[in-house]
Amino acid sequence: MSEEKKEDAQYPVSEQFKVLEGYDIYRSAKLIVALVVVESKFGKDLRMYRWQLRGESWKVDLCRMSVSGWDWPTLSSKAKELIEKHQIRKSGA
């Protein structure tokens, strides 16, 4: 698992979102799994993405994969850090 925080990283999100910051869970030449803080006309949100390089373009992939090897305490800590830093409100709040 990557321990790299990406503030200026290129994450291939939809044009309706502005990437504010992200944290790579995993990154290779053909796969990216990341926590990404985005902003849209609806406000800020923390999202988890999985992209796969297909041909020459990145496509959002279905997240049906094993996560048993992930460092959950670190991921929880990073998610909390991003939520607090970007003042993201909880859904329904």
* The pLDDT of residue 46: 94
CA torsion sign, 47 to 64 to 25 to 19? negative
Mean pLDDT for each consecutive 10-residue tract of the chain (93 residues)? Answer: 55 93 94 94 93 95 83 95 92 58
Greatest CA separation found in the chain?
A: 41
Task: Please work out, in degrees rounded to the nearest 5, the angle formed at the alpha carbon of residue 17 by the alpha carbons of 27 and 15.
Answer: 90
Instruction: Report the predicted TM-score, pTM, of the whole model to 2 decimal places.
Output: 0.80
